[in-house]
Chain A
Amino acid sequence: MTTRMVGAPVARSEDPRLLRGEGRFLDDLGHDAYQVAILRSPHAHARILDIDVTDALEVDGLIAIHTFEDLPPRLQQPMPLLIPHPALTAGRTQYVLADGEVNHVGEAILMVVATDRYAAEDAVERITVDYEVLPAVVGPENALAAAQFVHEEIPDNVAAHLQQTIGDAPRAIAAAPHTLEFRLDIERSASTPMETRGTYARWDADDRRLRLYTSTQAPTSVRAAVASFLELPLAQVECIAPDIGGGFGVKIMHPWPEEILVPWVARELGHDIKFVEDRREHFISSNHERAQVQWITVGFDDAGRVLGLDVRFIHDHGAYIPYGLIVPIITSTQLIGPYKLENYRVTFDSVYTNTVPVTPYRGAGRPQGCFAMERTIDRIARHLGLDRTQVRGVNFLQPEELPYDFGLTFQDGRPYCYDSGDFPASLAMLKTLIDWDGFEQRRAAAAAQGRIIGIGMAAYVEGTGVGPYEGGHVLVEPGGKVQVATGLSTQGQGHQTAFAQIVADQLGVAFEDVEVVTGDTRRFQYAVGTFASRAAVMSGNAIHLAAVKVREKALKLASDALEVDVEDLELAEGRVRVVGSPDTSIDLKVLATLSNPLRYAFDDSARIATQFATPADPDAPPVGDDEAPGLEATDYYSPVRSTFANGMHAVEVEIDPETSDIRILDYAVVHDCGNLLNPTIVKGQVLGGVAQGVGGALYERMAYDDHGQLQNASFMDFLIPYATEVPAVRIDHLETPSPLNPLGIKGAGEAGVIPTSAAIAAAIEDATGIVIDAMPISPSQLHERRLARPVTAGEGTP
């Protein structure tokens, strides 16, 4: 074996192309396509009485206008409820175009097709819709109060009510020496990728074949949905995710109405059709996340050990619930974090409101759960006057207790069982990294200058790599290149690099000779998708397994050709060679040629291969019963359950004593995702997550008014942190390998965003002495809180 690639900080091979502007994103495609504009509801809740398109018909360049009534019966059915659950008793999904009623601002009402987007927008402007405006339900508590209904036939606005328990929390709390009760609030945010949604369809009338490009995290599922809605054979539908300018969860939702409408219209009109969402549309028609109200009751002993925890929360899932209960179930379970909870009860109501639907955004319910648990631990420490890290320490599951099955059911329907980790070791690393024990000295020095600073931390455990499966295909070409394909798509994670590292190691080929394709159903048909921090775990291991098969096949071919035992062979430098006698070797590309009994002499490899060809057994078929032509293999990885990564963040903040402005002084992360495939990529994932976490903690909120109007549907008013707002982050890694998969890896994609709000809230609380129970928090909000209870520097928590 030459230099090992897995674990090395290999530079991302996709970057030169992207940095040169050679990326091929959705809107780079289909320049000759007709363009679509969608007329969207301006009301949060209304009945559609009449649609008058007369004036629009005069617009130059108009091709077609479609309302619900113009759709074929199959497209008049509700969109799929992707993930049903027994507790989801009142699930509602939207239609591709509204059927007489709209339930949030931005819901699609009709579709205009024109020669260009300008004409399409002009036509939309000239269409008049008469509405009967209905009362809007906004906010989780209003939903539960149910004075108004989002869906007439659901009179409590509740889609699901679910409770999970470990032990007997109420009894344990009643018997505990100390109890605390409080409420927490997390506001709405959203994925807001730089590239909005987009779909481009090409209908080939000769082949009766559809090619669909769409900016998605789940191309195989979009393909299946489109084939179903358009009643096409699956084989006649190709779906390709081109370069994607960020997903962060919103593009795992599928199919979007436009992903059905665009290919349908392409077939109807026999013309290429493209839809690209604009930024305002993205705010009001692409899904959001986060919003929850939580009520916590906790009982604990003098050491701060949690004896019982009872959590109730309302999850605001918006107007529809296409993705089922995934987000609140993740909150319910992942809330536990690294702690040993023996008495736990969690109850949630998932409620309808007249707002954009909620489906996973990076973290997917975990930031809310982490906020609940970590704020609880901090409250306990404050109540008892104990150091916050000490209270965490007494509650940690110990490494020797793992694997630990809590007796709950996780998002994948499997046992909630932690497989690996060493929480005390992670905490020790974090305390060193941020110099936790030296903070009081820093606080005193700052106070002497009239400055207010504070420190906080938060810990989380993240279930990653959920099943059911992913697959990988590895093919050594006679030309020497290795082609790798997996079905899930890429939104900037560096899959091309990480997967090539895995294959290079197994086959002993140069990293540069491995070419990876993701998200193209022409290359790999079976896949689940890129979400839940699962791509490296699932596709990484599947590709690893496929590469192992190719390796075995290569060794067998070489063994026959060189007449050497397999045990005496190794793969290195693109060849199979005899251990200890490297001059006796055979090139992989020659083996690739040998693997195919039909060897036309197209190139040198074929001519060389002829020399090695063993005499054919006249009584055996050229391709044996258990063989297939080609030096290639496909394999799948399907885990019994998720693998659990973990991490801890610590942050120091400074509060301006006069303006209450909040500044992050220092940020430290200790992260455990098992074996690192590529430390540079993992670091990038963590940093990106922290950046989004800072957004969620200090800047981002979807500001709905009482009428369900989103008041900040632009990047001018929805504040994503700039580079200037994101702190430098110091990262340390603990590697506790997962026992569940061959590579010993755990997911890393979402980690960075999970504990950020909890850690920053803790630091602000420590600095000001004011209990922070709602995030995000702005200087204005902090100012009002400080006015209500003025404090001076040095009055922080112990």
Chain B
Amino acid sequence: MCRAVGSGTTAESASDTGDDGVKPPPFAYHAPRTEEEALATLGALGEDGKVLAGGQSLIPLLNMRLAAPPALVDLARLETLDRIAVTDTHVRVEARVTHERLRRDERVAAAVPLLRQALDWVAHPVIRNRGTSVGSIAHADPAAELPAVLALLGGWMQLRSVEGERTVEAGDYLLGPLESDTRPGELVVAATFPRPGVRTGTAFEELARRHGDYAMAGVGVRVTLDADHHVGDASAAFIGVGGTAIQVELTEVLRGQPYDALDKAEAIGLARASIDPTADIHATAGYRRHLAGVLLGRALETAVRHAAGQAPPDSGSAPEGPGPTESAAPGSAAPGSAATESAPTGHASGGYREETA
């Protein structure tokens, strides 16, 4: 149920839905049917417009009256911006793709394993079924997993407005806690995650108070081995221990180490010195700093084994098992194959089917 104050051609009245029980402050509600209409609406609204996608962060903020945007622009009725494209070089995820769809996509898991490794930690199925991956990055919660993935893989965001399109690299896009470089009038249309190169392994580790909660600390790791299975370069991105995802380059402290006898002490020390955790009611700053180091050590071990091809990319202590395989597009994930795209083809009975476009 929304409580809307009518404005514009697409705005609707709240009284139509006849339900009650939630109580955001008044807002105008727009449900554009095309991307062009969405951009025009956002352009007209300027500072007053706020994009609503999965609503898993925004709706609670509204109901607790912690946010009071004058107007919401809901993407629910768009028929576009719902594609996952897997190419030779990257995975591109459009604005309306949910966490769960991305998590279950076998082509994505094969092309950029870190996505599923991270998404396994994201909340619970009910939230993943509605929340969008792009929306999560745009929301820029410092404890969210996907901003760290984008940063670690050197990905970028695509933003459109009536004035045109721009592309912003992860490092420039994620500005601080709940602060991203999305300008008034802009719609974030996609996030692009480059494929890791050969002999590259990734892993994601975190610890939350309860299964699926925002982590007290978490880390994504990317390690590339050389032909002799020694570390070539390594990087980590931490969540929950600073104002935004904090990337720490580990190449200098790990280069040349054999994958099966890593000395992680220096990397852990460097990481602990590079992050900036704060205390809250769930954990002390000292514990978060300690935890980040422990998790880094574990993630590095998983990542180098992954890189060395000794373990499947889904291994690790992630709470969710690998997704089902029914949506795999045969052959589509193999490097060197043609780019494939998918879009949801129906939402009957709450599920979805995937087809290769």
Query: Chain A residues in contact with chain B, CB under 8 A?
Result: 27, 31, 35, 116-118, 121-122, 125, 276, 278, 280, 658-659, 661, 699, 701, 703, 711-712, 714, 716-717, 719, 721-722, 724-725, 778-780, 783-784
Contacts and interface: CB of A to CB of B under 8 A. Distances in A.
Given A116-B20, A122-B26, A780-B287, A724 B211 contact: yes
Contacts of B45: none
Given A118-B23, A659-B207, A779 B283 contact: yes
Contacts of B134: none
B81 interface: no
A31 B18 CA distance: 10
Interface residues of B, number: 29
Nearest to B24: A118
Contact of B286 (A122, A716, A784): A784
B3 A118 contact: yes
A122 B283 CA distance: 36
B23 A722 contact: no
Interface of B: 3, 20-21, 23, 25-26, 60, 64-65, 124, 207, 209-213, 216, 281-284, 286-288, 290-291, 294-295, 319
Contact of A699 (B207, B209, B288): B209
B25 A719 contact: no
A27 B284 contact: no
Given A117-B20, A118-B23, A121-B65, A725 B211 contact: yes
Contacts of B284: 780, 784
Which secondary structure dominates chain B's binding surface?
loop
In the A-B complex, list the 8 residue pairs whose CB atoms are closest, starting with the nearest. A780-B283, A724-B211, A780-B287, A703-B281, A658-B294, A783-B287, A121-B23, A117-B23
Contact of A722 (B210, B281, B290): B210
Q: By CB atoms of chain B within 10 A, which of A661, A701, A722, A780 has the most? A: A780
23 contacts: A27-B21, A31-B20, A117-B23, A118-B23, A118-B26, A658-B294, A659-B207, A703-B281, A719-B209, A719-B213, A719-B282, A721-B210, A724-B210, A724-B211, A724-B319, A725-B210, A725-B211, A779-B287, A780-B282, A780-B283, A780-B284, A783-B287, A783-B291
A711 B294 CA distance: 28
Q: By CB atoms of chain B within 10 A, which of A27, A122, A725, A783 has the most? A: A783
A722 B211 contact: yes
B304 to A, nearest CB: 18
Contact of A724 (B26, B64, B212, B286): B212
A113 to B, nearest CB: 15
A121 B64 CA distance: 11
A712 B124 CA distance: 21
Contacts, number: 71
Nearest to A116: B20
B134 to A, nearest CB: 22
Given A116-B20, A118-B3, A661-B207, A280 B26 contact: no
A701 B207 CA distance: 19
A571 to B, nearest CB: 48
A792 B142 CA distance: 34
A717 B281 contact: yes
Contacts of A722: 124, 210-212
Given A719-B210, A725-B210, A122 B282 contact: no
Given A719-B209, A719-B210, A725-B210, A778 B20 contact: no
A784 B289 CA distance: 12
Contacts of A701: 281
Contacts of B212: 722, 724
Nearest to A27: B21
Given A661-B207, A699-B210, A712 B281 contact: yes
A711 B207 CA distance: 22
A783 B292 CA distance: 13
Contacts of B20: 31, 35, 116-117
B209 A783 contact: no
Contacts of B209: 699, 719, 778-779
A185 B124 CA distance: 33
Nearest to B216: A780
Nearest to A121: B23
Contacts of A779: 207, 209, 216, 283, 287
A497 B121 CA distance: 41
B141 to A, nearest CB: 12
Nearest to A705: B281
A621 to B, nearest CB: 57
A280 B211 CA distance: 23
Nearest to B213: A719
Contacts of B319: 724
B82 to A, nearest CB: 29
A122 B291 CA distance: 44
A122 B25 contact: yes
Contacts of A703: 281
A122 B212 CA distance: 34
A161 B65 CA distance: 43
A783 B290 contact: yes
A31 B282 CA distance: 40
Contact of A778 (B25, B124, B283): B283
Q: By CB atoms of chain B within 10 A, which of A31, A703, A712, A719 has the most? A: A719
A125 B65 contact: yes
A722 B126 CA distance: 13
Contacts of B286: 784
Contacts of A27: 21
A701 to B, nearest CB: 8
A405 to B, nearest CB: 45
B5 to A, nearest CB: 11
Contacts of A783: 287, 290-291
Given A725-B210, A778-B209, A780-B216, 14 more contacts: A35-B20, A118-B3, A121-B65, A659-B207, A703-B281, A717-B281, A717-B282, A719-B210, A778-B283, A779-B209, A779-B216, A780-B282, A780-B283, A783-B291
A719 B60 CA distance: 17
B210 A280 contact: no
Contacts of B291: 659, 783
A721 B208 CA distance: 12
A784 B287 contact: yes
A99 B222 CA distance: 62
A725 B209 CA distance: 10
Contacts of B65: 121, 125
Nearest to A712: B281
A701 B280 CA distance: 13
Contacts of A658: 294
A204 B118 CA distance: 59
Contacts of B207: 659, 661, 779
A774 to B, nearest CB: 15
A288 B284 CA distance: 25
A711 B281 contact: yes
Contacts of B26: 118, 122
Contacts of B281: 701, 703, 711-712, 717
A716 B282 CA distance: 11
A779 B207 CA distance: 10
A742 B288 CA distance: 58
Contacts of B290: 783
Contacts of A712: 281
B287 to A, nearest CB: 4
Nearest to B217: A659
